[in-house]
Amino acid sequence: MVENRWQIIIGAVMLLLIMLTGAFSLGVYIGRHGLSQEGLRYQPDQPGGMPEPQSADRPHNLPSGDPDLIGLIRTLSPQGIQLATQEGPRLVEVDDATHVQDTEGRSLKLPDLRLGDIVAVFGDFTPGDGRRLLATHVVRLPPRQPAQP
Amino acid sequence: MSNQPSRFQPLDYALALALSSIAFLFYHLTLTPSLSYLSPDGNELATIPYVLGLAHMPGYPLYTWLGKVFTWLPFGDIAHRINLMSAALGALGIGGLYLITISLLHPRAASPVLRRAGACLVALLLAFSPTYWSQAVIAEVYAPNIALVALTLLALLYWERTRRDCHFFLFALIFGLSLGTHISNLGFAPAFILFVLLTDRSVLKRPTWWLAGLAGFGLGLAQFAWLPFKASTLNDRMMLERAPTTLKGIYNYTLGAFPQFKFAFTLSQLPDRVVIYLYLLTRQFGWLSLILGVIGLGTLLLRRPRHYHLLVGMYLVHVWFFIQYRAFDLDVFFLPAHFLWAIFLTFGIVEMLAGLASIVNLISRGQAPRVVHWLIAALTVMVAIIPLSRNMTTSDHSYDVAINDFYTNVWEMLPSDSALLTQGGVFGYDAFYWQLVYDTRADVLLPTLPTPNPSPSDLHGRELYSTTTITGQNRARGPGALPPNLISGDIWQVPVLIGVQTGAPSLGGRRRLVLYHLIDHPPDLVVKDAKPSIRVDIDLDGVNLIGADLDIRTIESGGRINLVLYWRIDQPRRFQIGTYLGDQALETHDIGFGNLERYQAEVGPVQGRIIMEDYWLVIPSTTPAGSHALTLRVEGINKEIGVGILEVIDQEEAMERWLRIAGKSSSAP
């Protein structure tokens, strides 16, 4: 029983820490992103999927089909772009051959992108457990319009 | 001894079997018929077991061997049989979960009927949860891995009861083997060691116990000798860079695989990652599962502290590792954590049911409580209908026939002794599968099959085709890309066959199924005159569809039709065309298939001239027999243009057709 008691005490401390970690993380998340799910929405019916862009807005010179990702730029670096997408945060890698443009087909440079821009990414997935997306095209989309009442 | 897990009753075996059967039934109903892009590795993982090759890092030897056993099934094609392995082992994991929870639920927690109802409910909740289901219908390692995790836990609990060294050997063997379905299971080792110490420290003094453990685990681990043995079969650029031919290479290929993705986040990013995990968890079982799971953890701690430390130890290490893993599709990596949370959830639900039963007992008399208990149990199990109905449609991939339909037509169309350029390595298996498994069209060279870096001389004298874009801005890149010097950058890629876009959007689901003919001169995009058999002559805001030619009007589903469209472009801009069969979108493309701009630059202007598009379209084998309208839609213009009525017949089963064209009968291999 004495042995069990210690197991229970240690286990209770662990449980408390688990709950504290969860609560702390939620608090930090709300502090950063508010109550919105923008940073980590995840659609159960579209695993890894993305909404289709409006066909009329489809930019020029893009690979056929849907983009691999659409998301809001959270961080930017020469190596990659951290996006907030409907599937949660995603890190997209870029290289010298990555083409950046806007929806009018005008070429841009990576530094032209700004935090908070919404972009559509076309790219190549690398295989294996660590799935990466190397962007071939990054398209800056027009800012989201506020919802109409 | 009161802290020992309960012995199974015959009824428990029957219920576990029933739960596995129910799960298998639904997985089978929604199973991907053959190849698919739902997982980026899926087609490789469907092929490697048959050829007994070496899969991508970390190799998955046990998965490969189990897959080989499933390829001996006497029905379907090889990919179908491997998909069935995921369904069968995923279902086994569900039965295993029931047995684990029912053995751990304390007899005093609730009446047997309520305990069983709670355990059945949670097993079904996991079975019908979106991520688990998604992995049980495709060729992937995650569902088989859950079966191995369940077997490992059951073996450990069995040893706990018997304390016999031979049973510890069995546990250690299964644990070692489970690393061959996912090497991250190694992270469970500290929890297992702690559990053994909490259960019976005296075993440490027994040499036979040590021998049993080390021999069992060592034997399981010996599967990784497969890696150097099969390293010569690797054909992926990234895998070859870390080929497991030396001890260091084996480490790099296994424990050292993908180092850039491990512990990839800073301390300040971890709260977000924890919330992502919580979000993924609630996606599986609903937000209430967070509360019930925590209640379950509390009751597990009070009733079975030793098992609490075992399961929480496994859980924490797993979650801790994967919240810091920079994987693109994180959800599948958490499946073992979801499996463990399901155990906690069972405890929470059973505790809730016990509370409900106590209230019933207080207010009822005579036989009434017994009846109400049964009623509560029945209603509890029926809750599983909610995730079943919610996730059935999105988990159903039985219609995903696009790759097989496309490639069977490719093999029929390719001329003798041609070469088909595809992506290399793991991404090339949608094409490699056919030659590796069925030796289909052995005369056609797949240059990237033996090596990711074929040389131009390999292609000499062969007519060239490709299923990947290899020139221009849209060329495929990454580890599967073709070497830049393989063919001339001046080559024209002319689409000749277009497959249906794969069904649900998914990782890699954007991949288009197009067969290009590679030619060194401009295609015949512009014609002087058009005399189409179907006259349309309709103006569509700057583009005029003059008419079309359709070669046949009756087509077997899964076959192809030849469509020729004649356009006159009055205002040069981008026009995207969609081809529809009834309501089903077959494909979309830009007029000129992306060659128009280059044609204008190198050959001459196209404004006011007649553009001819001549291509073949795959009619999906899922198309029901009957008459279907073939229509065109121009993007941005709300107008449907009828081209003709197609009579689709369905005289041959899709699988039969695939196997016939692959070159084998359904009874072989």
Secondary structure string (H, E, C) spanning B226-255: HHHHHHHHCCCHHHHHCCCCCHHHHHHHCC
- The answer to whether residues B525 and B564 touch, using CB atoms and an 8 Å cutoff, is no
Q: What is the pLDDT of residue B536?
A: 84
Please write the tens of the pLDDT for every residue from B232-249: 999 998 899 889 999 999
Q: Give bridge partners of residue A71 from the DSSP assignment.
A: A85, A119
* Residue A81: pLDDT over 70: yes
SS3 B549: strand
Q: Which residue has the higher pLDDT, B403 or A130?
A: B403
Q: Looking at the complex, does the CB of residue A28 fall below 8 Å from at least one CB of chain B?
A: yes
Longest Cα–Cα distance of chain A, Å, equals: 74
* Residue A132: pLDDT over 80: no
In this prediction the ipTM stands at 0.84
Q: Count Cβ–Cβ pairs < 8 Å, chain A vs chain B.
A: 191
Strands B584-590 and B576-581, sheet pairing: antiparallel
Strands A99-102 and A132-141, sheet pairing: parallel
Q: Looking at the complex, does the CB of residue A136 fall below 8 Å from at least one CB of chain B?
A: yes
Mutate to test the interface with B, among A131, A136, A138 (most CBs of B within 10 A): A131
Q: Which amino acid is at B447?
A: P
| Interchain proximity B331–A42, CB inside 8 Å | yes
Q: Which residue has the tokens 């599962």?
A: B289
Q: Looking at the complex, does the CB of residue A39 fall below 8 Å from at least one CB of chain B?
A: yes
Q: Looking at the complex, does the CB of residue A91 fall below 8 Å from at least one CB of chain B?
A: yes
List CB contacts (< 8 A) between B477 and chain A.
97, 124, 134, 136
Top CATH class of A38-140 equals: mainly beta
Low-confidence ranges of chain B (pLDDT < 50): 1, 503-510, 665-669
Q: Looking at the complex, does the CB of residue A36 fall below 8 Å from at least one CB of chain B?
A: no
Residues 6+ apart with CB under 8 A from B386: none
List CB contacts (< 8 A) between A28 and chain B.
271-272
CA distances from B662 to B31, B247, B284, B436, B517 (A): 21, 39, 39, 11, 21
Q: Looking at the complex, does the CB of residue A63 fall below 8 Å from at least one CB of chain B?
A: yes
Q: Which residue has the higher pLDDT, B314 or A29?
A: B314
Q: What is the pLDDT of residue B475?
A: 64
- The answer to whether residues B578 and B587 touch, using CB atoms and an 8 Å cutoff, is yes
Please name the member of A66, A90, A124 whose beta carbon is closest to the beta carbon of B505: A66
Please write the tens of the pLDDT for every residue from B442-490: 999 999 999 988 999 999 999 999 998 876 655 666 667 888 888 888 8
Q: What is the pLDDT of residue B667?
A: 41
Please write the tens of the pLDDT for every residue from A49-74: 222 333 333 444 555 556 778 888 87
Percent of chain A with pLDDT over 70: 62
Please write the tens of the pLDDT for every residue from B536-555: 888 877 788 899 998 888 99
List CB contacts (< 8 A) between B283 and chain A.
42, 44
Residues 6+ apart with CB under 8 A from B234: B54, B240, B243
Q: What is the pLDDT of residue B576?
A: 78
Q: What is the pLDDT of residue B634?
A: 79
Q: What is the pLDDT of residue B665?
A: 46
Q: Give bridge partners of residue B589 from the DSSP assignment.
A: B577
CA distances from B155 to B88, B221, B344 (A): 20, 17, 19
Provide the sign of the torsion angle of the four alpha carbons B439, B443, B447, B450, taken in this order: positive
State the DSSP H helix or E strand holding residue B420, giving kind and residue range, or none if neither.
Answer: strand B419-421
Per the omega criterion (within 30 degrees of 0), is the bond before B669 cis?
yes
pTM of the complete model: 0.86
* Residue A45: pLDDT over 70: no
| Interchain proximity B198–A22, CB inside 8 Å | no
State the DSSP H helix or E strand holding residue B213, giving kind and residue range, or none if neither.
Answer: helix B207-221
| Interchain proximity B506–A91, CB inside 8 Å | no
Q: Which residue has the tokens 């979960």?
A: B97
Q: What is the pLDDT of residue B666?
A: 41
Q: How far is A140 from chain B (nearest CA, A)?
A: 17
List CB contacts (< 8 A) between B574 and chain A.
58, 60
User: How many other β-carbons are positioned within 10 Å of the β-carbon of residue B177?
Assistant: 24
